[in-house]
Amino acid sequence: MTEKLTPTDPAQIGGHRLLARLGAGGMGVVYLGRAESGELAAVKVILPEYADQPEFRARFRREVTAARRVDSPWAVSVTGADPDASAPWLATAFVPGPSLAETVAACGPLPSRGVRVLGRMLARALTTVHEAGLVHRDVKPGNVLLTVDGPRLIDFGIAHATEETALTSADMVIGTPGFLAPEQARARPASPASDVFALGCLLAYAATGRPPFGSGAVDALLYRTVHDEPDLDGVPEDTRGLLERCLAKDPDERPTAREVDEALVEETPQDSVDWLPDAVVRLIAERSAAMLALPDIEATAVDAKAEGADGAEGAARAEREPEDAAPTPRADGRRRFLLLGGAALLAAGGGGALWAAQRDDGTPPAAAPPVRRWILGVQADLTGPQKAVGQGQERGVRLAVEQFNSRADKPFTLTLKSVDDRGDATRAAKVARTLAADRDLLAVIGSTGDETTGASLGGYDERQIPQLTASSAQSPYGTSDPRHFLQAVPSYTHLPATAAFSLRAQGARRVGVLIDRGGGMPAWQLGNTMFQNLGVLKIAGEPRVAPRLAEDLTPVIAEMVANKPDAFVFTGTPARAAAVARALAATDFDGPRVLGYPAADKEFLTAAGAAADGWQVFAPYIDPSAAPVRAFARAYRKRYGSAPPYWAAEAYDVARMVITRLTEAGGRPSQQELFDLLLKDEYKGVVRSYTFDKEYRWLESYEIFRYEVKGGRYSYAGKVGL
């Protein structure tokens, strides 16, 4: 579980925004961090007093090297590290599941098959470790995390290369008493066989709920490990013989990790979680769901220093505007327009007009203050993988701007400035900083996708420019707690509630939920939140996770259908969705089928063929031909010569909302004043009503639109709500 950051904690480490503490020890602190890519990470930071010790820094450098040499789906991967930094750090992929120790304490021992499956997966992880020339040296329940698609071996902090000389003292015991080999208890060098002994202890614990050599004082534990036989009472007979071999006192008599894997290979699960009890699956789901609602970011010393550097509002404005910039006019917008019009006429009058404007003493008047433009920005994927959506959104915003500028009573003229991020996160961050540097930019709408939106947040937020996305639904993003960002679309974690209620209305009482890891964050957030909402509605949910590398999902579908669900949900990629649709069509299942909307595109229809018919999609975008947006669709077709795509009406809506707030400001507002106006009141658009939570800045309205595939196309079925 997480703890709040303390005031003395850093705000960022190695490009990771720190969100909370995961734990602390004598040598350092482990934080929950979020990288710029949006991925969560466990960031281990060494305390300064140890970083200054050459031997300790060398040991940490060895830890980083060791962890990077392990490449296994059952071991956490290194995502970044800097052992030479002033505060050395190591980041690994964050696994939100509970540890095996927590699981057994909360839910009791695992069933017989669960122990065997766990043993096989961990044996494979250790095989990778050993083939990399390493010894883990601390295989224990606390270093094994459980997820819906298998366990993860973590903490290579004391992993040791077999060919290296140890940096620890000769008589130091390395490992955790109760889960280490006799040779380690005698302070002798560990070997791959030592890890196998620890694996045997761990599996005995998983099967019985107690360590095989008991508990108590460290000296007593070490003595029993060296001299006593393990207590294997309660271990299933089909596993006991293998564990006895793993726990042999002589390392040469133990099987290798690969041999343990081969001994358990017949118990391979078919990419499912049926090897875990329901209580454990719920615990994993609850822990994962908790990570979707991350704790508030605590102010730290680094944050406070940065805030102090900005000073009061005047200093913040000075930071945004050069010293030689003219004061922002606060007169009535129409009056300013007439004054500027008069100045333009004088300029057009040539020398005579200039002579007339001179003072009596012949001195020319002071230069007029520079004219401030009213700029609305758009950042979108105009030429990349989502260019159809991005171009439609840019056109929707442009249409709203042109309609406003055509008004005879407009108080100002609005300029649209567009940038193309090409759907690339690196470019998105770059073009955001470039656009944000324009001092006349009032607000920006974009970006198109989740990754580019997350990458662009910092560029706009640091200049206090309001940013609104009409299509990116991720929750949360890579930059934590942006202060001037509004998500004008229901997020992935809000949308599934509507689908769950609809399934209940359709009579669903048992729902299979298949989450495709290949679908990334959208698939996980939609699928996992769907499972949670089903539980709230007292509907039995049966989750499964398809690993990215799984090629054939037919066995998973067959297993899920065998449990007699009356509804089915899939979240993932279009290609995998098509494969699932075909596999499901080959069974006798005839209940409602729901497809996560990111997978609902033309590729799914084409690849699934007739099997696509009947699938329902609950999406935050309205059909462009729907009655509420027909006037927009006609104007779009007249302007651009084609029908608007999905998401164009939403961008048009958001642009009109921003323009409305600008006209209500009574003069040119600052970016902060505009943001406050956007938060203040409800805006009724043509797609939905926009009201934002004042504290969390998310959209409070939940208008969702249902589609059903009929005859090879997505047929619009109207708006649904809670």
The residues annotated as belonging to the active site are 138
Q: How many CA atoms lie within 13 A of 276 on its CB side?
A: 25
* β 510-516/540-546 pair status: parallel
Q: How far is CA 510 from CA 441, 504, 560, 566, 616, in A?
A: 51, 10, 11, 6, 17
Q: Which DSSP symbol is given to 167?
A: S
Report whether 466 contacts 675 (CB < 8 A): yes
Report whether 605 contacts 712 (CB < 8 A): yes
Report whether 8 contacts 301 (CB < 8 A): yes
Dig out the tokens for 7 from the structure.
Answer: 């005031």
CB burial of 73-88 (b: ≥16 within 10 Å; e: otherwise) equals: ebbbebbbbebeeeeb
Dig out the tokens for 221 from the structure.
Answer: 């534990």
Q: DSSP per residue over 146-197, as a string?
A: EETTEEEE---TT-EETTSPPSS-TT---S-TTSS-HHHHTTPPP-HHHHHH
How far, in Å, CA of 477 to CA of 38, rounded?
A: 5
How far, in Å, CA of 707 to CA of 616, rounded?
A: 6
Strands of 586-712, DSSP E: 593-596, 615-619, 683-684, 689-690, 704-710
Dig out the tokens for 142 from the structure.
Answer: 């606390």
Report whether 143 contacts 96 (CB < 8 A): no
Name the residue among 445, 337, 465, 452 with its Cα closest to residue 399: 445
How far, in Å, CA of 619 to CA of 595, rounded?
A: 10
Dig out the tokens for 216 from the structure.
Answer: 């108590």
Q: Give alpha helix (H) positions in 41-169.
A: 48-51, 54-68, 100-107, 112-131
Question: Which residues contact residue 237 at a Cβ distance below 8 angstroms, ignoring those fewer than 6 apart?
Answer: none
* β 485-487/467-469 pair status: parallel
Report whether 568 contacts 593 (CB < 8 A): yes
